[in-house]
A and B are shown apart, each in its own frame.
Chain A
Amino acid sequence: MFFLDHIWLIPLFPAFGAAMMFFFGRRLQKATVSAVCVGVVVLAFLFACFTVVEYTHFAHGTGRPFERIIYTWLGSGDGHLNFLKRDGTLASFNADAGFLLDPLSSIWLLFVTGVGMLIHIYSTGYMAHEGGYYRFFGYMNLFMFTMLTLILANNYMLLFVGWEGVGLCSYLLIGFYFHRKSASDAANKAFIVNRIGDAGFILGALTLAWYLGSFRFTDINTLARSGHFVIGDPVLTIAALLLFVGACGKSAQIPLYVWLPDAMEGPTPVSALIHAATMVTAGVYMVARSNAIFVLAPTAMKTVAIIGALTAVFAASIALVQNDIKRVLAYSTVSQLGYMFLALGVGAFAAGVFHVFTHAFFKALLFLGAGSVIHALSGEQDMRNMGSLRGRIPTTYKTMFIATLAIAGIPPLAGFFSKDEILWQAYRSAYGSFPYLWLIGFGTALMTAFYMARLIFLTFYGQPRMSHEVEHHIHESPKSMTGPLVVLAIGSVCAGWLGVPASLGGTNAFGKFLEPVFAREVAVAPAEPQEPAGEEHRGLEWTLMLLSVGAAVVGGGWAHHYYAKAGKDYPEPIAVQAPPLYTALYNKWFVDEAYDYAFTGRRKIGDIRLGAMGAGEASSWFDAKIIDGSVNDVGWVTRAVATLSIWWDKWIIDGLGVNGPAILARMISYPARLFEWGLVQWYALVMVAGLLGFGVYYVWK
C-alpha cells in the first residue's frame, strides 16, 4: 500500500520541478533544467504505474474507489461554514485536499503522466534552440501538477483548482512567444472563452452542493444512485447542463470551441500535450465523473450528444480546407472531442473514455510529428510549402502515417476500436437509438479520413514546394524527438487492443475495467429497454463497422486522388467544385466574425455595436447621459435656486431690509450732519457765541 498511501506525491513531483524552475531556473544550465523537469515527470509516471498496479490489487476487480483525504481544505465539518440546502436542512460546506483513485482516474493518471513524459522528452529536442527554456519547462511541469490535481481530486472544489490551474498553464504556454501579438491575443482568447465555461462549471458544482449537500464525488454518486431522485429532476438537469457548459469551454465544444484553433500559437509540444492529449479531455473527464448526475438528466444527456455530434462534423468540415498543418490538427482535435461527447451523451461513457485514451496517443503523435516536420522545415507551417518529405524525414513520416491510419479508423489500429464503439453506441445504446447521430458521426469519419490523408499527402508526397534554402536545411529530428514518436506510434497501434468489442471476439477489457464507475446500482429505466451488442445485433454491428472502414478508405482514396501528386499551385477540389462552400470553410464558417459581431463587439452591425464592447459603449452612454446627466440636472436646479436666493438676499434682505432703513436714516440725518464739520475752534466759537447770546438775553430781559 506504499504507493497508494503516498498518492499525493504524484502531483507533487512536477510541482517540485515547477518550483525549482520558478526560483532557480534562470541560473540553471539547459542540461540541468532538462534533467530536473523531465526527471520529475518520469518519476511521476513510474509512481503512477505502481500506484495503479497497487490499486488493481486493492480493488480486486470490484472497482471500489480508493479515497485518501490529506487534510480539510475548506470548511471543517464542525459547522463553521454552514449553508441551507434546497430542502431547508443545514449542510456544512466542506472540501478536502483529498485524492480519489478509481478506474476512471487511473486511466487518466496513466496516460497523462505517460504521454506527458514522452512530450517532455520530445520538448528537450524541440525547444533546444529556443529562448526561455527553463520557463517553458517550468510551465509544463506546472501544467502536469495542476492536471494531476484535477484528475486525482476527490471533490468538485479541488477539481476546480486543477481545472483553473490547467487553464492558467494553457494561457501561459499559448502566450509563450509573448512578443508576438497573435500569440498573446490567442492566449487571452483562450483564457476568456474558458472563463465562460468555468463560470458554468462552478455554478453547476454549487448547484449540486445546494441540492445534495456535498462536493465529494463519492457522496454525490451514492446519493444520485440512491433512487431518491426521479429521472429528469429539474435541478439535477440544470446542474448537469451547467457542468456541461464548463466542459464545453475546457474541451472546446460548440459554441466555446473557438479558442482551441487559435491556441496553436503556442509551441508545438504544448499543442500536443495540452491542446490535444490531456487538458482538453478534462471536460470529458468531468462529465464522465459526474455520470451519475447526467443519467438522471436525459435532457442534459441529449444536449451533450447533439452538441458533441455537431461539433464533430462542424470542426471536421473546417479541417477539410485549412492549409496550416497545426490548424488542421487543431480542428481535428475539436472534432474528435465532439466524438467523445457524442459517446458520453448517448450514455456510452466507457466508449467515450476509451476514445480519450486512444486519441491521446495518436493525436499527441500527430502533433509531435507535425512539430518534427516544422522543425525540419525551419519553422514552415503552411502545407502549401511542403511536399515530398517522405524520404527526407522517414521516421517522422512513418510514425505520422501510422497515426493517420489510427485516427481515420483503419483496423486494427487504436482509433478504429474506439471510434466504432462510439458509432455503434450512438446507433444503439442502452439509452436509446440515435441513427441521426450515427449518421453525423459516420459523415465525420469520412471527412476525418479525407483531411488526414490530405495532410499526409500534402506534407510527405507530391512535389517539393518549399524554397531552395529551406529544402537545403531539411534534416530528420534528433533522437530525443523521434524516440517519443516511435513510442507513441506503438501506442497508436496497440492502445485499441485493450478494448476489442465482444462482437470481434474480444473481451473489451477496457470497458470492463471502467464498468464499476458507470454502474447503475439502481436500474435506470431507458425509454425502451434494450440489450446492446446482443447476438441478434452482431450482424448490424459488423455492417456498421464495415461502413465506417469503407468511409475511411473512400475518404483516404479521394484525398489520394486529389493530392498525391500535388505540385506547385495544386487545385483544391472543393474550391473547384463549390467555390462559395470553399470560402465558407476556409474562413471557418465565419464564426469568429459572427462572434465579433455578436459577442465581442469588435465589429459593428451598421452603427450598432453589440456584445461586450457594445455593452461597454452602452454603459458608458448610460453613465455619461443618465447618471452624470441627472447629477448635472440636480446641479442645475441647485444652481438656479442659489441664483434666486442670491438675488433675494442681495436685493430684498440686504436692500430693503438692511440698507433701506440705513439710507433713510442717512437722508433724514443729513441736516444734522451739516452742524458737525469737525473743527474744534468752530465748536468753541459757537459755544462762546451761545454764552454771549444767553448773557445778552438775560441782561436785556
Chain B
Amino acid sequence: MVPITALHYLVVAAALFVLGVIGVLTRRNVVIVLMSIELILNAVNLNLVAFSRMWGNLHGQVFAIFIIVDAAAEAAAGLGILIAFFRNKETVNVDEIDLLKW
C-alpha cells in the first residue's frame, strides 16, 4: 500500500482544477459556470489542506475554511446577480451576455 503523500493530493487537486477551468471555459449555462468555479475553489482548498498536513500546522486548514465561506458568499452573490439578470433578459446563456464591452 503506497502511502498517500502530498503529491497524490496535488494531482487530484490539479485534476479538479483543470476540470473546473474547462467547465468555466466551455459551458454556456451560467449556473454551471458558477458550479465550475466551485470546483476550482475546492481544488485550491484541497491543495491548502494537503500542504497543511504536509507541514504539520493549521494555517492551510484555516485558510481553506475562509475560502469555503468566501465561496458560499460568492455563490449567493453570483446567483443573486444571475436571477436579477434573468428577470431582465430571460436568458442564462453566457454567449448572450456581452454587456461588458466598451
Query: A: which residues have CB within 8 A of B?
Result: 673, 676-681, 683-685, 688
Return B5 CB to nearest CB of chain A, in Å: 23
Return B54 CB to nearest CB of chain A, in Å: 23
The listed residue (B21, B26, B100, B102) touching A680 by CB distance below 8 A is B100
Chain A residues lying within 8 Å of B98, measured Cβ to Cβ, are 677-679
Report how far A139 CA is from B62 CA in the complex, Å: 120
Per-residue CB contact flags for chain B residues 64-76 toward chain A (1 = under 8 Å, else 0) read 0000000000000
A688-B21 CB under 8 A given contacts A680-B94, A681-B94: yes
Return A24 CB to nearest CB of chain B, in Å: 87
Return A699 CB to nearest CB of chain B, in Å: 15
Q: Does B41 interact with chain A (Cβ within 8 Å)?
A: no
Return B12 CB to nearest CB of chain A, in Å: 20
Q: Does B87 interact with chain A (Cβ within 8 Å)?
A: no
Q: Nearest A residue to B21 by beta-carbon distance?
A: A688
Return A550 CB to nearest CB of chain B, in Å: 124
Chain B residues lying within 8 Å of A680, measured Cβ to Cβ, are 94, 97, 100
Q: Does B90 interact with chain A (Cβ within 8 Å)?
A: no
Once the chains bind, are A677 and B25 in contact (CB under 8 Å)? no
Query: B: which residues have CB within 8 A of A?
Result: 21, 24-26, 33, 94-95, 97-102
Return B41 CB to nearest CB of chain A, in Å: 15
Once the chains bind, are A676 and B101 in contact (CB under 8 Å)? yes
Report how far A673 CA is from B101 CA in the complex, Å: 8
Chain A residues lying within 8 Å of B33, measured Cβ to Cβ, are 681
Once the chains bind, are B95 and A679 in contact (CB under 8 Å)? yes
Q: Nearest B residue to A676 by beta-carbon distance?
A: B101
A–B Cβ pairs within 8 angstroms, 24 of them = A676-B100, A676-B101, A676-B102, A677-B98, A677-B101, A678-B97, A678-B98, A678-B99, A678-B100, A678-B102, A679-B97, A680-B94, A680-B97, A680-B100, A681-B25, A681-B26, A681-B33, A681-B94, A683-B100, A684-B24, A684-B25, A685-B25, A688-B21, A688-B25
Chain B residues lying within 8 Å of A678, measured Cβ to Cβ, are 97-102
Q: Nearest A residue to B37 by beta-carbon distance?
A: A684
Report how far A688 CA is from B22 CA in the complex, Å: 10
Return A673 CB to nearest CB of chain B, in Å: 8
Return A471 CB to nearest CB of chain B, in Å: 109
**Given A680-B97, A683-B100: 4 more A-B contacts, CB < 8 Å:** A678-B97, A679-B95, A679-B97, A684-B24
Chain B residues lying within 8 Å of A676, measured Cβ to Cβ, are 100-102
Chain A residues lying within 8 Å of B100, measured Cβ to Cβ, are 676, 678, 680, 683
Return B7 CB to nearest CB of chain A, in Å: 18
Q: Nearest A residue to B18 by beta-carbon distance?
A: A688
Chain A residues lying within 8 Å of B21, measured Cβ to Cβ, are 688
Report how far A679 CA is from B21 CA in the complex, Å: 16
Q: Nearest A residue to B101 by beta-carbon distance?
A: A678
Report how far A114 CA is from B102 CA in the complex, Å: 111
Report how far A678 CA is from B21 CA in the complex, Å: 19
A679-B99 CB under 8 A given contacts A684-B24, A685-B25: no
Chain B residues lying within 8 Å of A683, measured Cβ to Cβ, are 100
Once the chains bind, are B101 and A681 in contact (CB under 8 Å)? no
Return B1 CB to nearest CB of chain A, in Å: 33
Q: Nearest A residue to B102 by beta-carbon distance?
A: A676
Q: Nearest A residue to B96 by beta-carbon distance?
A: A679
Return B94 CB to nearest CB of chain A, in Å: 5
Report how far A295 CA is from B100 CA in the complex, Å: 111
Report how far A300 CA is from B64 CA in the complex, Å: 129
Q: Nearest B residue to A679 by beta-carbon distance?
A: B98
Return B89 CB to nearest CB of chain A, in Å: 13
Report how far A673 CA is from B100 CA in the complex, Å: 12
Once the chains bind, are A681 and B24 in contact (CB under 8 Å)? yes
Return A233 CB to nearest CB of chain B, in Å: 99
